[in-house]
Copies of this chain bind each other. A is one copy, B any other.
Amino acid sequence: MNVEPIDVTQSARERFERMHHEIRNRICLLDYAPGTRLSEEALAAEFGTSRTPLRRVLVRLEGEGLVQSVHGVGTFVTDVEIEELAQTYRLRLELAELTGKLDPVAPDAALWEHFRDLADRSHALVADPDPRRFAQLNVDFFLALLCLTANEPLREVCERLYFQTTRIWLKSVFASTIDLIDEVDVFCREVDDILRALRIGDLHAAALIQRAHISMSFERMRKGPDKS
């Protein structure tokens, strides 16, 4: 069963969401590195539409600060300088802690299952590191953690800032393969620690652990990878 073609739904809204999610994911996973030019025509062709609906997606992404369009030149994936990145990280620290204080909700059965799967994937990644799978796992774990607060505006803000910063951090990680091993190891420990806190039911502790890891990952990035 389930033999139907993927793109059954062709309602305007669904298609918009699909394109938006897909392109955002590519930017976040560094398929489109910062500075990359996105061709409206090529993307439109890929998604089987004209430029008009695609441009709508790009306008949204521009509002989210992920791309920037320049008349007559092109649409580029944004990059950020270290100073603004530092500001965003400082804000993310506080917001991460807030997820444990504002409308926290314990995981339900489905979310537990998801967390177990994420833990398995992280352990598998330690045995066999891979940049892209690491990036995807990082995104998935973050989104899972976001389910721990019922505060919808907070979730939106955290998600927005996450997508703005993580790709920059990933860029640093990917720059030197040697660090990837360390980062995967640290990440695996973060997952285990947070799950341990969740099992006790201490959501605030889980949030504090996440906050600590965000802080440390930024410090590691700021100090820079070994240029050996």
Residues of A near any B CB (own CB < 8 A): 11-13, 55-56, 59-60, 63-64, 71, 84, 87-88, 90-91, 94, 98, 102-103, 150-154, 157, 161, 164
- What chain B residues lie within 8 Å of A152 (beta carbons)? 84, 87
Measured in the bound complex, the distance between the Cα atoms of B95 and A161 in whole Å is: 14
- Tell me whether A153 and B91 are in contact (CB under 8 A): yes
Contact A71–B12 (Cβ < 8 Å): yes
Inter-chain contacts of A150 with B (CB < 8 A): 87
Chain B neighbourhood of A98, CB < 8 A? 91, 94
- Copies, count: 2
Known A59-B59, A87-B154, A153-B164; further 18 A-B contacts with Cβ < 8 A: A12-B71, A13-B71, A55-B56, A56-B59, A59-B63, A60-B60, A60-B63, A87-B102, A87-B103, A87-B152, A87-B153, A90-B102, A91-B151, A91-B153, A91-B157, A94-B98, A94-B102, A153-B161
Q: Which residues of B contact A164 (CB under 8 A)?
A: 153
What is the minimal beta-carbon distance from A158 to any residue of chain B, in angstroms?
Answer: 10
Instruction: Report A171 CB to chain B, min CB distance, Å.
Output: 18
Roughly how many angstroms separate A87 CA and B90 CA in the complex, as a whole number?
22
Q: Which of A13, A71, A87, A153 gathers the greatest number of chain B CB atoms within 10 Å?
A: A153
Asked whether A84 lies within 8 Å of B12 as measured between CB atoms, the reply is no
Report the minimum CB–CB distance from A151 to chain B (whole Å).
Answer: 5
Specify which chain B residues have a CB less than 8 angstroms from the CB of A55 in the assembled complex: 56
27 residue pairs from A and B, CB less than 8 Å apart: A12-B71, A13-B71, A55-B56, A56-B59, A59-B59, A59-B60, A59-B63, A60-B60, A60-B63, A63-B64, A84-B152, A84-B153, A87-B102, A87-B103, A87-B150, A87-B152, A87-B154, A90-B151, A91-B102, A91-B151, A91-B154, A91-B157, A94-B98, A94-B102, A153-B161, A157-B157, A157-B161
